[in-house]
Amino acid sequence: MSLPTEPIGSIPRPAALLRAHEDHAAGRIGEEELAAATAEAVADTIRRFEETGSPVVTDGEQGKSSFLTYPVAGLADLAPDGVVVPFSDGHTRQLPRLTAGPFRYAAHAADQLRAARSLTSRPVKQPVIAPSALSLLYPADGIDGYPREQFVTDLLDEAEADIRSSLDGGAHVVQLDFTEARLSLKLDPSGGVLDELISVNNAVLDRFTAEERARIGVHTCPGGDWDATHSLDVDYAGLLPKLFALRAGNFYVQLAGEPDPDRVLALIAEHLPADARVFIGVTDPIDPAVETPEQVRDRVLAAARHLPVDRLGTCDDCGFSPFADDTSTSRETAFAKVAARVEGTALAAAQLGV
């Protein structure tokens, strides 16, 4: 297939893995048993990705409790009362708050990449959290003896290591999850916070060569958790021109769940950098209905009316379960949507003659 298609990242965890996490938290099983359950879930995830015909796979983030906080899980210098993220159905997620420095990652995504690559011959995509999201862990009133400037320096070093170790580890592409971008415009319509977040991410991206950045992408969406979003009501017109100022080679843009996709496609066409590829979302993870391949095909053909085909790809709008405890979507539904994306993209490619 000459029209590329990629997953975003997370897949709902199987019931056995969710039970293992509960048992581990309750002290009924140890680390070895949890690791065994995780390894089994990863192997099943990759096998099922392959069965869909997906040309690029992920480990489904089975080993992460959260797409956002995996680098800091288990760190001692954290308090639970950080930034609160409200969702459209009224539920919230809360970030931890850093209480002391120096800031260091407790885990890197490349650790999971190695396991995934050992299970498949297909290209493996590695999602990582954008440093901009982790910058929100630093408290507004500061930390005694650890100024924000030093925190940002440490954060950039750790984020670079997370990305570089994945590139060096053979990742097909490394994707920065930048889901707080659209939310920032809800919290600060002036765009000042968004400018700061983009500056943090570009400070990391600038540490890579042009060839390396061609294998780095940025994902944006309005959040997806328990079939709710945190910023779908925020106009893309305020985000996309600034998003495309990020010095990345690929962009993954939520689109299937948008009420006016043609308007968004026009914005993308106007602002997409000349040397970048955009992957448009053609399946909506929070919609329980499984798209047909024909629906996916038509979404791709609509995008091709706005964008050059040689700079176009497809993806899911978002991960299917960015937080491990989100069971609102089944594994069966997630993989059915992946299969529809793969088949529908192939139908579109054939019609476009690519």
Assigned token pair, 234: 């925020």
d(C-alpha 33, C-alpha 316), whole Å: 32
Q: Is the Cβ–Cβ distance between 346 and 354 less than 8 Å? A: no
pTM of the full structure = 0.95
d(C-alpha 166, C-alpha 111), whole Å: 8
The mean pLDDT of the chain is: 94
pLDDT in tens, 95-117: 999 999 999 999 898 889 999 99
- Give 343's pLDDT tier (boundaries 50, 70, 90): very high
What is the pLDDT at residue 67? 82
**Residue 5, strand partner residues:** 314
Q: What is the mean pLDDT of residues 306-330?
A: 93
pLDDT in tens, 217-255: 999 998 889 888 898 899 999 999 999 999 999 999 999
How many CA atoms within 13 Å lie on the side-chain side of 111? 11
DSSP string spanning 192-227? HHHHHHHHHHHHHHTTS-HHHHTTEEEEE-S--BTT
List the single range of 44-58, 61-75, 125-139 with lowest mean pLDDT: 61-75
DSSP string spanning 259-286? S-HHHHHHHHHHH--TT-EEEEEEE-TT
pLDDT in tens, 152-192: 999 999 999 999 999 999 999 999 999 999 999 998 999 99
pLDDT in tens, 26-63: 999 999 999 999 999 999 999 999 999 999 999 999 98
Q: Is the model's pLDDT at 1 over the cut of 60?
A: no
- Give 80's pLDDT tier (boundaries 50, 70, 90): very high
Assigned token pair, 270: 């106007």
Q: What is the mean pLDDT of residues 204-224?
A: 95
Domains of the chain: 5-352 (3.20.20.210)
What is the pLDDT at residue 315? 98
H helix runs in the chain, sequence order: 15-25, 31-51, 110-117, 131-134, 148-168, 180-187, 192-205, 210-213, 240-243, 261-271, 293-304, 331-352
Q: Is the Cβ–Cβ distance between 12 and 334 less than 8 Å? A: yes
- Give 212's pLDDT tier (boundaries 50, 70, 90): very high
d(C-alpha 225, C-alpha 124), whole Å: 24
Q: Is the Cβ–Cβ distance between 60 and 30 less than 8 Å? A: no
